[in-house]
Amino acid sequence: MPHSMTGKTVVITGGTSGIGEVAAVSLAGMGARIVLVARDDARAASTLQKLAAANPAVTHAVHIADLFSLYEMKRVAAKIAEAEPRIDVLINNAGAYFEERETTVDELECSFALNHMAYFVITNGLLERLKATPGARIVSTASDAHKMARLDLDDLQSEKRYNGFRTYGTTKLMNILFTRQLAMRLEGTGVAAYCLHPGFVATRFADNNDGFMGSLFSILKRIWAISPQKGAQTIIYLASTEAALGKSGTYWYKRRCVAPTKAARSDRDAARLWALSEGIAYG
């Protein structure tokens, strides 16, 4: 059963729409104080109003940052670490799909930058605060899209060949490998790391695409997608229950621990991906 979140601070990226916003408002309603990392001022202000209504007993916070930029990832993580003496839960949830290959200001492929590197950099930037908080946990949104992925550690930027959905799936595979390696590095610290598949959810996902896949996602979401309320349940569960204790490094779906693909269980790939990500982030 979910425990009270009163007195706990939850940092969340991608928390101003979809499953992230549902999770943030739900956790606030359970007593948590929410710290949002948002890109859009208007959506951040709207979510802050919902958080205040859900839990008016605390002052929720928002930090505006462009999570496509390595500099901004580091800046916002440092700012939050400075402002928050304790962080009970970090929820890495910001993500997007790109039908066409695009690059960031750092010349990183956009899916890789937002879906993987933002998780990596923000988590590392907040690790000391998490380690200083008894029972802290890190919850990262991955996806069953990883099942169609093919990880090429010599082509992290999808320069040799680009396919939007496969590249998206590969970044979700990276989320699982990241969680696996993170859990190993956190052994003995009291901090747990989990990742999850939320299901196929009717959110703003893929709305940034004008092409065929963007139109296809729009149709599929109307026909098959579950609500953000249902899609957020596993995030809320992993952020607030004791049921996952002792299962750090695992992958979850519908509030159950499930096995990802064999590729997602490779400790060698997880370690190498971590080292490559470290090189990209910190030189």
CATH of the domain at 117: 3.40.50.720
pLDDT score at 275: 98
Domain membership flag for residue 2:
no
* pLDDT less than 50: residues of the chain: 1, 203-204, 206-209, 217, 219, 221, 223
Domain membership flag for residue 4:
no
* pTM score: 0.92
* pLDDT tens sequence across 23-58: 999 999 999 999 999 999 999 999 999 999 999 999
pLDDT score at 209: 46
**CA end-to-end distance (rounded Å), the chain:** 43
How far apart CA 165 and CA 148 sit, in angstroms, is 9
User: Residues 263, 149: contact at Cβ < 8 Å?
Assistant: yes
Domain membership flag for residue 25:
yes
pLDDT score at 261: 97
Range of the domain at 237: 9-282
pLDDT score at 3: 72
How far apart CA 242 and CA 193 sit, in angstroms, is 13
Domain membership flag for residue 127:
yes
pLDDT score at 215: 54
Q: How many domains does the chain have?
A: 1
Domain membership flag for residue 3:
no
How far apart CA 111 and CA 96 sit, in angstroms, is 7
Domain membership flag for residue 1:
no
Domain membership flag for residue 188:
yes
pLDDT score at 210: 53
Clarify whether 71 is annotated catalytic: no
Among 97, 119, 162, 168, the one annotated catalytic: 168
What six digits make up the tokens of 171? 């970044």
User: Residues 149, 170: contact at Cβ < 8 Å?
Assistant: yes
Domain membership flag for residue 142:
yes
